[in-house]
């Protein structure tokens, strides 16, 4: 049995037996999510939780002053940042900002793969956020939230991490990038679903992590799944699905015209979103 097939067999067995080691959500994100779910939490208490992590605190201030929130008056403290962002959004934004901590490895080859996956993910996030902003402005439909699409697009590739971690034990497979791409494509959806369930994420995030690559899975209403898929193809991923995704965007009235997705306004929204992770 080849190394590639052996690894695929190992991964499938571990998935079926629930023995695959899954990544854990960064501690600071866990604290923020737990605090946000407390019905008695207030803005000052949340600022204290975020303030325990200097890096997250600094990034929250940065995002508060970014074009993402469209404000001109600068904030300089965590409390001001939390007040501006709001408790509803803070849970998803804090989780999103902490996600980068997962895409690391001490193995140089694995590290290179994870850096590329993170880079690709940020591109998808930026395009997805721009799609939602264009959709909201054109249709006045506010059923989907910008902070939620940010997080949904960020968890889309989460299932690839255990594949790479397992592959790290089989150095030969890194000489065959095609195999790794196939393994990630085949298995990351199921793994991503498991991770989202273990982390206690809501169904709208679970379906993205599980099914964004599987275009046989569709939702009746416009969903984060639609937006992430469209964001992916707009940044050059999965070009083979471009025509079908564009047709779906028009049919579901995500946008009234595809020209809006090729506009300067779209590019501006996308650039602002990328600054969040810069």
More confident residue, 156 or 181: 156
The Cα 16–Cα 209 span in angstroms is 18
User: Under 8 Å CB-to-CB from 255, ≥6 apart: which residues?
Assistant: 131, 134, 135, 138, 139, 249, 261
Tokens of 256: 């009234």
The Cα 178–Cα 176 span in angstroms is 5
The stretch 98-126 carries a mean pLDDT of 91
Domains of the chain, with CATH numbers?
A: 3-23+104-275 (1.10.3210.10)
More confident residue, 86 or 202: 202
The Cα 52–Cα 216 span in angstroms is 43
* Measured CA distances, 165 to 52, 178, 194 (Å): 29, 17, 16
Q: What pLDDT, on the 0 to 100 scale, is given for residue 178?
A: 84
Answer for the pair 182, 213: CB distance below 8 angstroms, yes or no: no
**Residue-wise pLDDT tens digits, 33-73:** 999 999 999 999 999 999 999 988 998 898 888 776 666 67
Give, rounded to a whole angstrom, the gap between the first and last alpha carbons of the chain.
43
* Whether the predicted pLDDT of 151 surpasses 90: yes
Return the number of other C-beta atoms located less than 10 Å from residue 93's C-beta.
25
More confident residue, 142 or 170: 142
| Most confident by average pLDDT, 2-16, 61-75, 166-180, 259-273 | 259-273
Show the beta-strand stretches assigned E in 203-261.
none
């Amino acid at each position: 049995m080849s190394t590639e097939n052996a690894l695929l067999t190992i991964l499938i067995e571990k998935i079926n037996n629930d023995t695959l080691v899954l990544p854990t959500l960064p501690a600071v994100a866990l604290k923020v999510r737990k605090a946000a779910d407390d019905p008695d939490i207030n803005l000052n208490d949340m600022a204290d939780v975020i303030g325990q992590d200097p890096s997250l605190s600094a990034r929250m201030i940065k995002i508060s002053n970014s074009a993402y929130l469209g404000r001109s008056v600068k904030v300089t403290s965590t409390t001001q940042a939390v007040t501006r962002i709001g408790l509803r959004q803070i849970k998803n934004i804090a989780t999103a900002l902490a996600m980068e901590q997962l895409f690391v490895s001490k193995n140089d080859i694995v590290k290179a793969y994870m850096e590329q996956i993170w880079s690709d993910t940020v591109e998808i996030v930026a395009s997805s956020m721009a799609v939602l902003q264009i959709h909201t402005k054109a249709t006045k439909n506010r059923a989907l939230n910008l902070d939620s699409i940010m997080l949904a697009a960020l968890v889309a590739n989460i299932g690839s991490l255990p594949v790479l971690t397992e592959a790290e034990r089989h150095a030969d497979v890194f000489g065959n990038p095609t195999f790794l791409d196939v393994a990630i494509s085949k298995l990351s959806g199921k793994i991503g679903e498991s991770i989202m369930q273990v982390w206690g994420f809501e169904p709208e995030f679970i379906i993205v992590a599980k099914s964004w690559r599987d275009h046989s899975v569709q939702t009746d209403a416009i969903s984060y799944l639609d937006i992430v898929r469209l964001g992916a193809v707009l940044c050059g991923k999965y070009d083979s699905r471009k025509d079908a995704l564009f047709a779906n965007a028009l049919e579901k009235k995500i946008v009234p015209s595809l020209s809006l997705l090729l506009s300067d306004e779209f590019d501006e929204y996308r650039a602002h979103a990328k600054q969040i992770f810069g």
